[in-house]
Amino acid sequence: MTNQELETRLRQATQHAVPDDLDAILSRCDSPTKGTVILMEEKRRFNPKAGLWIAAAACAALALGVAGFGLGANWQAGSQVASIVSLDVNPSVVLEVNNKEQVLNALAMNNDGQTVLGDMDLKGSQLNVAVNAIVGSMVKNGYLDELANSILITVEDENAARGQALQQTLTQEVSEALAANAQNGAILSQTVDPSNAALQQKADEYGITLGKATLIQSMVDQNTQLRFEDLAGLTVNELNLLAANAKNTPTQVVSTGIASDDAYIGVEAAKTAAYAHAGVNAADVVGVQVDFDYERGQMVYELEFYVNGVEYEYDVNASTGEIVKYEQDHKMVAVQPQSTPVSQSTPVPQATQAPQATQAPQATQAPQSTPVPQTTTQQQAPQGTLTSQQAQEKAFAHAGVDASNVTVTKCQLDWDDGYQIYEIEFWSGNVEYDYEIDATTGTVFKREQQTHAVSIGQVITAAQARDAALAAAGLSLNDVWDLDISDELDERTPHYEVEFKCANGEYEYYINAQDGSVINYRQESYHR
């Protein structure tokens, strides 16, 4: 028998003698002894004839050991979690996957998530197959439909590049799955760092996924009027509607599609409710803007619009059409005499009574002493809150000023981070004060003061500065919107900055606060 024939028989014998039972062997081995070679000594006479067989067997064992090491490494890598994928609608489902995008575990994060998973066994399936099955179940069980079509995809991965690539792949998979189920979906997707312990703790506290917690925190960071605890109970579709509002838009989130608002009364119905309440005609409204917002525990349509140069702000309940909150700014309402604080029930003239623009005062005219127009809010103080007079007295006492020497320019009820407050602005001499007072307890939330070069009685009013700018531009209140007036009374030349838009473009005027003359102006024309 030749050496080659001998080697062939040895190879065949070895292959038949060693069973292919690597997993069973490894499972019976303790971790510290895996891969360890134990030398067993036995005193016996050496048989020269057995030398060749021993050498061949050693070679075969070495080859088996090398192959076994490779299989063991692959087995270990395949059992480790490389990425965590969460799918949030209101049901929340989490998938743990390995580096080959095979599902190692599928977890329901709430009762609705358990309904979605049902009796599906997704363990061992490819990620794309599992995602398609989950999306299909969400549609079948009514969690994704024409009334609520938003889904949040989150990839948790320490390897950012791998996570972002998976995020893009999953977005495409979910989009196709929704299309296959005749749904026009709105997808939010993001890649997050799973090592954010503080955010994970918050997610655990509210029983939501890290992905949903990340989305909410990003929105709260953009708009401090929102509160995490209020948004945690909202569906992803509601969060998506809020995220479309520019002041709430989260960072590091990719948005595809448009969230459905079919479950609500609609923009046009919200406009109708606001216009009727304001007593204005839709034909007279300009510069209208409508966004979703969250106010006092309810989804609302937030409307801003102008009529005859007067700005209106309304919050309309998105489900019922009820007026939740409204304000009317830049309205010409005379401030009460200095000794009498502004009453919260001061009537506000209708939009049709807005004064017409007047010519800018000449430099030779004496400074006017007409009080600065008040910004008013058409809200009655709820029972249990301070009256406007009591709130002003708290502010005057805190500032250490005599009420008889005070000119109030603003006093209105508002909401700030869930608290009802009075916003109060007033002057004493040449010092301007800005206060926020808790409407229930009288606690001072905010206090600012600024010393100006002139007193309030030495300057024209904001309304007169506005009229001077409009006259210089050859426009009237009916022609403009987005009107904004700010004072710069602490400058060497005290002045007002008046900005507005009209059909032809945007204007910015600098009006001398003492005589009403135009210091400078800028005009940006629209190109047609």
pLDDT band at 13 (very low <50, low <70, confident <90, very high): very low
- pLDDT for residue 172: 93
Rounded CA-CA distance 491/514 in Å is 12
Model pTM? 0.53
How many helices (H) and strands (E) the chain has is answered by 13, 18
Please give the average per-residue pLDDT across 100-110, as a whole number: 93
pLDDT in tens, 397-447: 999 999 998 989 889 888 776 678 899 999 998 888 999 998 988 888 888
Of 513, 155, 202, the residue nearest 363 (C-alpha): 513
* Two domains, one topology: 267-328 and 330-346+356-528: yes
Rounded CA-CA distance 207/213 in Å is 10
pLDDT above 60 (res 516): yes
Side-chain half-sphere exposure of 353, counting CA atoms within 13 A = 8
- pLDDT for residue 77: 55
Calculate what percentage of the chain has a pLDDT beyond 90: 48
| Domain 330-346+356-528 coded CATH 3.40.50.150 | no
Q: State the Cα torsion 7-8-12-18 to the nearest 10°.
A: 30
Of 297, 304, 236, 251, the residue nearest 90 (C-alpha): 236
The burial of 117, by beta-carbon neighbours within 10 Å (0-12 exposed, 13-18 middle, 19 or more buried), is given as middle
Residue spans per domain, the chain: 1-26+53-79, 83-256, 267-328, 330-346+356-528
- pLDDT for residue 370: 37
Reading across the β-sheet that carries 481-488, which strands appear in turn? 481-488, 495-502, 505-512, 518-525
pLDDT in tens, 15-30: 444 444 445 444 444 4
Q: Is 309 left (phi over 0), alpha (psi -120 to 50) or beta?
A: left
Residue 462 CB coordination number (10 Å): 20
**347: helix, coil or strand?**
coil
Q: 267-328: which CATH number, 3.30.70, 3.10.450, 3.40.50, 3.30.1460? A: 3.10.450
pLDDT in tens, 363-377: 333 334 333 344 434
CA angle 172, 177, 180 (to 5 degrees): 125
Calculate what percentage of the chain has a pLDDT beyond 70: 74
Q: Which residues contact 34 (CB under 8 A, 6 or more apart)?
A: 26, 72
How far is the CA of 131 from the CAs of 8, 104, 125, 442, in angstroms? Answer: 50, 13, 10, 54
